Amino acid sequence: MTQIVFQPGGDCLQAFNNDAIIVAGILGLVVMRAPEDDADMVGVPIHAQAETFGALQVAGYKPHLIEKPEAFDEVWRRTHADFRGLVDGRRTLMVFRHDGPALVSLDDLTPAEIARLYPRNEL
């Protein structure tokens, strides 16, 4: 099973990039663009989590809800040492944005960047 990653965002669960396209196709939703980094995005209401996750499981996917602390720890752990370090005591990564590479504190990653960098488990 391929993992689909969701993140809480207000009163919705959000999926980004390829995950968003898969979720939209299965649930018949419209893919939007995340304004902060121009990434594909889809949201489902939190109250529909059980139905959404059930539909994804029936379709052969494993939905996974991540919270920021877990996401930050996994992204940090899985990023090669050449692309991470401490800057002023803060965990910082090199990420590639529209205007090129940038050093970004983990706390300043956008949800779409977290989704892109979060490791996927093929089950």
Q: What is the pLDDT of residues 52-94, one digit of tens each?
A: 999 999 999 999 999 989 899 999 999 999 999 999 999 999 9
Options 3.40.1170.10, 2.40.30.160, 3.55.40.10, 3.20.20.140; CATH for 2-65 is 3.40.1170.10
- pLDDT exceeds 70 at position 122: no
Model pLDDT, residue 76: 95
Q: What is the pLDDT of residues 4-34, one digit of tens each?
A: 999 998 899 999 999 999 999 999 999 999 7
Model pLDDT, residue 123: 45
Task: Domain ranges for the chain, please list them.
Answer: 2-65, 68-110
The fraction of the chain above a pLDDT of 90, given in percent, is 76
**DSSP result, the chain:** -EEEEEEEETTEEEEEHHHHHHHHHHHTPPPEEETTTTEEEEEEEGGGHHHHHHHHHHTTEEEEE--HHHHHHHHHHHS-GGGEEEETTEEEEEEEETTEEEEEEGGG--HHHHHHHSPP-B-
Model pLDDT, residue 119: 84
pTM: 0.84
